[in-house]
Amino acid sequence: MFLNKRRSLTLAVLSLSLALSLFYCIFTKPKDKPIPVDEVFSQAPWSKPLPYLPPLAGVGEVRAENCGRCHVEIYAEWKTSTHANALSDLQFQSELSKSSSPRWLCLNCHTPVANQRETLVNYLNNGNYRTPIEEPNPNFDPKMKAEGVTCAVCHVRLDEQGNSYVLGANGTTKPPHPIKIDPDKLRNRCLDCHNANYVLDDQLVCAFKTGIELEQKGNSHGKVTCGSCHMGELQRKLVKPELDTPIRTSHKHSFIGGGVPKKFELYEKQIPGGYRTGLKIEPLKWKKKGNELEYSVSLTNEKAAHNIPTGDPERFILLKISLLDAKGKSLATKEIKFGQEWEWYPKARLVADTRILPGETKVWKDLFFGIEKEHSKIIFEIYHTRLKESNAEHMRKNSENVHSDLLRKKISEIENFYPFSTIVHKEDIDLNSGKSRVYSTEELFRISKNRKGE
């Protein structure tokens, strides 16, 4: 009897102990444990900024404005680029203001040097990206922060002694600063950010796969580099004329992409910056059959070694065909999109991908019915779209969360400051005479600029 009571007591104690352990596991917070960022993200290049870069001998602080004292033309080109506007980008600032935004991680590609960061993150509590351990940065440079993707991101590195030097593509004249010529390291730098592909959780997915697209099966463009298209080659002096240096092979530093600038006033810089579409666009084919009008459109990704469009998964190419009457009034419109379709909730997933692969041709055929005499013209347009109106409206409604008064105002009226899309092709066809007109690139950018506020 005594043994039975003892056994019962032991079982009761064990049960209570088990219950307490279970309660602790379920209802108590695990002890904070700092886990290195490198360990969590397997040393992905976009998971941390470049290390602090000390002043460059002969130059000073590694800011773009200091580089621009000698590299005048290159600096002027860079100032018009998407890179220079990477931090001030209104769409990016709106994303940063969201409570769900992993700000410290997003900034690694938009301000990629430690000098540009007020705080640095080397550890995450329990390896959770939502609980970064932020430490004050004693080397923070606010002027350099404002430069976004600045010259040093690609061109300044540390030697074995921890001194800054310039990474160059070519050169024969000895400059006033330390330099090492290694074009391969420069070529490979782009994909550190433009191939950021990672699932953070069910709703937060980084899906920038341009580097993967360059390597996809069937890509006939070979081992082309990003700079082949986005940094056009030219012959010029690399520095201001009064320094009396030879003319050498150089590259444009405007980094023109799909032709949708970050500000309306930058439209005029797209063509001198080197814009050219990667699409081969055949003239619209059409024929009338009684009261029906049949049309066919053909697009080929002839020049780009990546999908069109690439980068931001919400970009798309919109094709639009409108029937107009004699007074220019639109009577009927048809549209088709080539891009990605994502479902973001409850779990982010790619639903469809109709982008145009390198070398691929897309053909769009359709009919207009009930064609009458008053239908006198067809307008065929192609838009490279970066921001949908539905997303813009969401940005306007949430603009009060933005920390800056100026940015808050701009985002609340984003249509006046931020181009949503660019017309990259336009064609008018007179149905009576059969004559057609294809608009020049200069005309297209002028039209796109004048769409401000729409």
All structural domains of the chain with their residue ranges? 35-226, 264-450
pLDDT band at 134 (very low <50, low <70, confident <90, very high): very high
pLDDT band at 70 (very low <50, low <70, confident <90, very high): very high
Separation CA 303–CA 305 (nearest Å): 7
Closest C-alpha to 114, from 49, 56, 159, 162 = 49
Separation CA 442–CA 447 (nearest Å): 9
The rounded percent of the chain whose pLDDT value lies above 70 is: 92
pLDDT band at 13 (very low <50, low <70, confident <90, very high): very low
pLDDT tens by residue, 303-314:
999 999 999 999
Q: What is the pLDDT of residue 7?
A: 47
Closest C-alpha to 396, from 380, 384, 407 = 407
Q: What is the pLDDT of residue 20?
A: 52
Q: What is the pLDDT of residue 22?
A: 52
The rounded percent of the chain whose pLDDT value lies above 90 is: 78
Q: Is 70 exceeded by the pLDDT of residue 59? A: yes
Q: What is the pLDDT of residue 32?
A: 86
Averaged over 344-371, what is the pLDDT? 94
Separation CA 232–CA 228 (nearest Å): 6
Q: What is the pLDDT of residue 220?
A: 64
Q: What is the pLDDT of residue 113?
A: 98
Q: What is the pLDDT of residue 23?
A: 52
Residues near 252 by beta carbon (within 8 Å), at least 6 away in sequence: 77, 231, 232, 234, 273, 274
Q: What is the pLDDT of residue 26?
A: 52
Q: What is the pLDDT of residue 3?
A: 40
Angle at 242 between CA 241 and CA 243, to 5 degrees: 90
Which has more confidence, 374 or 250?
A: 250
Contact 52, 58 (CB under 8 A): no
Q: Average the pLDDT over each of 182-191, 254-263, 367-376 and give the range with the smallest value.
A: 367-376
Contact 426, 322 (CB under 8 A): no
**Hey, how many other C-beta atoms are within 10 angstroms of the C-beta on 452?**
15
274 backbone φψ class: left, alpha, beta (φ>0; ψ -120 to 50): left
pLDDT tens by residue, 154-204:
999 999 999 999 999 887 678 899 999 998 888 888 999 999 999 999 889
In the three-class reduction of DSSP (H, G, I as helix; E, B as strand; rest coil), residue 11 is classed as helix
CATH of 264-450 given 3.40.50.300, 2.60.40.10, 3.40.50.720, 2.60.120.380: 2.60.40.10
Q: What is the pLDDT of residue 15?
A: 57
Q: What is the pLDDT of residue 1?
A: 44
**Hey, how many other C-beta atoms are within 10 angstroms of the C-beta on 152?**
26
Averaged over 1-14, what is the pLDDT? 47
Q: What is the pLDDT of residue 6?
A: 46
pLDDT tens by residue, 404-449:
999 999 999 999 999 999 999 999 999 988 899 999 999 999 999 9
Q: Is 70 exceeded by the pLDDT of residue 30? A: no
Average model confidence (pLDDT) across the chain: 91
Q: What is the pLDDT of residue 331?
A: 87
Q: What is the pLDDT of residue 314?
A: 93
pLDDT tens by residue, 102-125:
999 999 999 999 999 999 999 999
CA 394 to chain centre: 19
Q: Is 80 exceeded by the pLDDT of residue 17? A: no
Averaged over 223-247, what is the pLDDT? 90
Q: What is the pLDDT of residue 389?
A: 96
